[in-house]
Structure 1
C-alpha cells in the first residue's frame, strides 16, 4: 500500500497528516480503546502483546510491540516497549501526551528521546483528517528517531489504522 501521509520536518517538530474515510468519532475511539489499539498499533509484522491503557488526563498507556515476522531478520522476536502519559483529552477533537521509550516495568531510558505529541482530529464531510505533531527537545533528538526508521514504521501503522477502520465501520 502506498503511503498517504504528508510529512514535514521543521527544526525539532515533525508534523504528519493523514486522511481517513471514517467519521472523526470513530478515529478518536480507536485511539482511546485498548482493544482497538491492539488491532492496528505498530508497523507491519509487529503485534501489541501488552496494552495497559488508562485513557484520561494524567493516565498512562504502557505497551509492548513484538516482531512476529521472521522475514524481518534480526528484529524477529524483538520487543519494543513504550509509555505515554496523557495531558489533555478533548473528546473527538484532540489528544496530547508525552511519548517515551520504556522497559517492561515502565522505566524510561535517559538516552532515548521523548516527544510531546498532539493529535488533532478534524472532521471533513464524514472523513477525518488526523494531524500528528511531535515536538522533540532538539532537532538532533528528532533526527535520532528518524534515523531509527520511525517515519516508515509510522506510515505502516497509519496503513494498519486505515485497514482497521475499514473493518470496524462495516
Structure 2
C-alpha cells in the first residue's frame, strides 16, 4: 500500500481492554471467538473462512436486518504473535481496499490496543468518517470488550 500521506489516510481507534494480552489475542485469532464479537450489536457473524497465517484468507458474513449481507473479507499480510495483525480488507458494500492494523501491548493485566484503518486516499478516509466508521468499529470493540469481561468472569 502507498505509504505517502499515511497519517492523512488513517483512522485510529485506541482502547485499553481490562483483560490480559493472551486472552485478547485469542479473541482476535480464533474463529469461535471472532463469531461472537466481529459485528455490531444484534448481528450474528458467520465465519466462512479463517486461515490465520500470513497470506491466509478470512471471510465473515453478517446478515443485516434488511435482509442484505454485509461481507467482511481479507488477507493476512503480517502476523507477529501477541503484537500485531495486519490485513488487507474489504467490508462490502461499504468499504473496500483498506488495510487494517491491530496492535496489542500488555499493560499489566490489561491490554493496550491500537486499531488503524488505512485508506487508499485521504478523500476516501474522509468519506468513511462521514459514513460513521468510528461508531461502527466502536460498537464492534464494545462487543469485544463485553466478550473479554464475560470470559474473565467465567474462569
Q: Provide TM-score, normalisation by structure 1.
A: 0.80
Report the number of matched residues.
148
Stretches of 4+ moved more than 4 A in 1? none
Specify every segment of 5 or more residues in structure 1 that has no aligned partner in the other structure, as ranges: 1-8, 69-75, 104-110
Which of 96, 114, 118 is the aligned partner of 1:113? 96
Distance apart, 1:113 and its partner CA: 3.4
Q: 2:56 aligns with which of 48, 54, 59?
A: 59
**Of 19, 26, 30, which residue of structure 1 is paired with 2:16?**
19
| Contact 1:34/1:51, CA 8 A, preserved across alignment | no
Cα distance in 1 for residues equivalent to 2:107 and 2:95:
36
Distance 1:51 1:129 in 2: 29
Task: Supply the distance in 1 between the matched residues of 2:105 and 2:13 (Cα, whole angstroms).
Answer: 13
- Equivalent in the alignment of 2:37: 40
Q: Give the stretch that moved more between structures: 152-161 or 46-55.
A: 46-55
1:46 match: secondary structure: coil
**Alpha-carbon distance in structure 2 between the residues aligned to 1:25 and 1:16:** 20
Query: Over aligned residues, Cα RMSD in angstroms?
Result: 1.9
Aligned mates of 2:79, 2:10 — CA distance in 1: 21
Question: Shift of residue 135 of structure 1?
Answer: 1.2
**TM-score normalised by L of structure 2:** 0.87
What residue in structure 2 maps to residue 146 of structure 1? 129
1:86 has 2:60 as partner: no
For residues 130 and 51 of structure 1, do their structure 2 counterparts lie closer, same or farther at Cα, with a shift above 3 Å needed?
farther
